[in-house]
Structure 1
Amino acid sequence: MADSEHSSSDDTNADSQEETNEGSKLEFSEDEETLIIRMYNLVGERWALIAGRIPGRTAEEIEKYWNTRHSTSE
């Protein structure tokens, strides 16, 4: 019984830690922002290709950044 309780708390801690890490990773430097914009203008929404040019970034992070900063709902 103690094992199942322990697993539940680990899952909760992992989820909150992941959200914290995700929030901080969405902070991009000016160089990264410039590169994302330039690459987007060249290749469009090919997030994996853009992420390949920015060490430590995933396609999902870059797409989320783009969608929050450059939404087309104008």
Structure 2
Amino acid sequence: MADSDQSSTDSPVDSREDSIQDSKLDKFSEDEETLITMMFNLVGERWSLIAGRIPGRTAEEIKKYWTSKYSSSE
């Protein structure tokens, strides 16, 4: 019985982790935003290089942030 209880809690935990990651995208500090912009102007879409300058951020987070904020509609 304990095993079935534990497995039923695994899914909600995974969902919460996804929600935390999504909400984290909205919580870039002003310094992080400035650094991302400066680095993008220097190296372009080299997200791993940019993420290497921002502790705790992944290249994927930076790319998602950039494309959500600066996606071009040209």
What TM-score does the superposition give when structure 1 sets the normalisation length? 0.83
The number of residue pairs the alignment matches comes to: 73
- How far off is 1:66 after superposition? 0.3
One-letter amino acid of the structure 1 residue matched with residue 6 of structure 2 = H
- How far off is 1:2 after superposition? 5.4
- How far off is 1:14 after superposition? 2.2
In 1: Cα distance, 2:71 partner to 2:5 partner: 42
| Residue segments in structure 2 that go unaligned for 5+ positions in a row | none
- 5 Å-filtered alignment, 1:1-74, equals 3-4=3-4, 6-7=6-7, 9-26=8-25, 27-74=27-74
Q: 1:5-59 CA distances to partner (integer Å, 9 max, x unpaired)?
A: 532x233122221122112311101110010011011111111110000011111
| Residue segments in structure 1 that go unaligned for 5+ positions in a row | none
What TM-score does the superposition give when structure 2 sets the normalisation length? 0.83
SS at match of 1:28: coil
Aligned residues: CA RMSD? 1.6
